[in-house]
């Protein structure tokens, strides 16, 4: 019985040490996310459709959780901050047509050509 008790104490010590080592490793790479009430976020659902619809933070708890809601009147969800990421305005407008960089390059080349031609004309008029 004494050996069983000693083995149990040894297991408790080993588990405690392992827990401390795992916490130290986690703390090395964790990034604390700051979320505020009213922020728009995307939810990581680990599915092909993850993060499709934005959510709004309704309430933030001090234990790194937040209450989110997709639309007014829909059910709220309590999630950990590790499962959400902030939604930036630039993410919202992805469907809008962007700048065609080829057009920008052509415009710059045209401006350069016009400037060079104007400079050549000035030199030819004033020798």
pLDDT, averaged across the chain = 79
Backbone angles phi, psi at 65, to 5 degrees: -120, 155
65: CB partners within 8 A, 6+ apart: 78, 79, 80, 81
Residue 63, both tokens = 């234990």
Question: How would residue 80 be classed by pLDDT, with cut points 50, 70 and 90?
Answer: confident
Helix, coil or strand: residue 80: strand
Verify that 112 and 87 share a domain, yes or no: no
Better-predicted residue by pLDDT, 51 or 57: 57
Verify that 110 and 70 share a domain, yes or no: no
Domain of residue 68, residue span: 32-94
At residue 1, the pLDDT reads 87
Strands 76-80 and 40-43: unpaired
């Amino acid at each position: 019985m004494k050996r069983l008790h000693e083995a149990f104490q040894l297991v408790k010590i080993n588990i405690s040490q392992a827990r401390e080592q795992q916490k130290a490793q986690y703390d090395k790479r964790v990034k604390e996310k700051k979320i505020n009430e009213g922020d728009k976020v995307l939810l990581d659902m680990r599915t092909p459709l993850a993060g499709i619809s934005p959510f709004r933070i309704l309430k933030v708890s001090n234990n790194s959780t937040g209450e989110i809601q997709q639309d007014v009147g829909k059910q709220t969800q309590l999630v950990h901050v590790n499962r959400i990421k902030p939604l930036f305005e630039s993410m919202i407008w992805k469907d809008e047509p962007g700048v065609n960089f080829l057009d920008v390059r052509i415009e710059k080349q045209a401006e350069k050509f016009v400037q060079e031609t104007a400079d050549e004309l000035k030199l030819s008029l004033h020798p």
